């Protein structure tokens, strides 16, 4: 099995936050990889994955905010 990417590790580290877990209502199983999180039905898991993914792909802070904000407004 291939090792975890930096994105995966970051996602896991953030989603393991207990308060966020309670607020988002997701389980630790959904935190295993960035690819999986990007297609998650849980909007918090998905939003965090989008922030990391878009940030790593070079998008600006405003672009990431606009995208994630719209996503949350539509899905929260």
Partner 1 sequence: MIIKNISIRNFRSYYGDNSFDFSSGLTLIIGDNGDGKTTFFEALQWLFNVTVDTPNIENFSEMRKSQLEVGEMDSVVVAMTFDHNGIKTIEKKFIVECYEKGRYRPLRQEFMGYEDKDSGRTPIDGKALVLRCFDAFLQKFSMFKGESDLNVFNDPAALQQLVAKFSDLKEFDKYVAYTEEFERKSNSAFIKESKSDEKIAKQVESLDSKLIEVKRLLSHAERELTETEASAQLFSGKIEDLEKHKDTSEKYAEIKKRIEAKQAEATKYRGSIAANNFNINLLDKMWILCVFPSVLKEFQAKCSAFSKNKRAQNEQFIKERAKHEGKKEAYDEITQLVNGASRLPWYLPGEAEMEEMIHDHICKVCGREAPEGSEAYRFMCEKLEEHKRHALAEAEASKPEDQEQKELFENEYVEEIHNLSLNLGGFNETEVTGKASEIGGCIDLVNMFKRKLDEVERDLEDMADEKARILIQAEGVSEEMLDKSFQDLKGYFDQKGKAEKRALELEQKIRDLKGQRDYYKEQIDALAPGKGQVRVYKKVHDAFDYINKAFVGAKDKNLTMFLESLEDRANDYLMRLNANDFHGIVKLIRTANDSAVIKLYSSNGSEIKKPSGSQQTTMYMSVLFAISDLTTLKREEDYPLIFDAATSSFGDAKEDDFYNIIDNINKQCIIVTKDFLNRSELRMADINKLTCSVYRIQKAEGYDKNDLSTIRTTVVKVK
Chain residues that interact with partner 1, rule: CB under 8 A = 6, 9-10, 13-17, 19-20, 23-24, 43-44, 47-48, 51-52, 55-56, 61, 64-65, 68-69, 72-73, 76
Q: In this complex, which beta carbon is closest to partner 1, that of residue 4 or of residue 36?
A: 4
DSSP assignment of 33-67, as one string? -HHHHHT-SSHHHHHHHHHHHHHHTT--HHHHHHH
Q: How far is the CB of 1 from partner 1 (least distance, A)?
A: 15
Q: How far is the CB of 41 from partner 1 (least distance, A)?
A: 15
Distances (CA, A) of 5 to 12, 62, 70: 11, 25, 27
């Amino acid at each position: 099995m291939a090792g975890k990417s930096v994105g995966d590790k970051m996602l896991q580290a953030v989603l393991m936050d207990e308060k966020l877990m309670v607020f988002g209502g997701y389980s630790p199983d959904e935190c295993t990889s960035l690819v999986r999180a990007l297609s998650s039905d849980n909007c918090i898991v998905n939003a965090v994955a989008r922030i990391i993914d878009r940030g790593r792909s070079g998008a600006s802070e405003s672009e990431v905010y606009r995208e994630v904000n719209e996503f949350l407004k539509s899905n929260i």
